[in-house]
Amino acid sequence: MPITKRNMLRHELIGLEARVTNSSDPTLLGTRGTIVDETRDMLVIEQASRAKIVPKASSKFMFIRPNGAEVEVNGAKLVGQPEERVKRRR
């Protein structure tokens, strides 16, 4: 199933390009790179061969889908174990 705006939250995020568009931590704004890991509360974004840990709940993310389209997601909607998040119905 291709990734669309409507089903973005039900897909695996590891491997997608992402950018932090809003965060309670100003040092994380503009962080851009590939998602290399996901935990219950954090996304790990690799940027210039350095990993940055970004909290989901206090951030907004712009994900770049494989077709190049961008989707902005409030990180609070991503909070939860990845394997449980992909099973949720919205």
Tens digit of each residue's pLDDT, the chain (90 residues): 677 778 888 888 999 999 999 999 999 999 999 999 999 999 999 998 899 999 999 999 999 988 889 999 999 998 988 878 777 665
Predicted local confidence at residue 88, as pLDDT: 67
What pLDDT is attached to residue 24?
94
**pLDDT at position 90:** 56
Question: Sheet containing 70-74: which strands, arranged edge to edge?
Answer: 50-55, 42-47, 32-38, 17-23, 59-64, 70-74
Structural contact between residues 44 and 51, judged by C-beta atoms closer than 8 angstroms: yes
CB 64 within 8 A of CB 16: yes
Tell me the whole-structure pTM to 2 decimals.
0.87
Tell me which of 3.30.420.40, 2.60.120.620, 2.30.30.210, 1.10.940.10 is the CATH number of domain 8-79.
Answer: 2.30.30.210
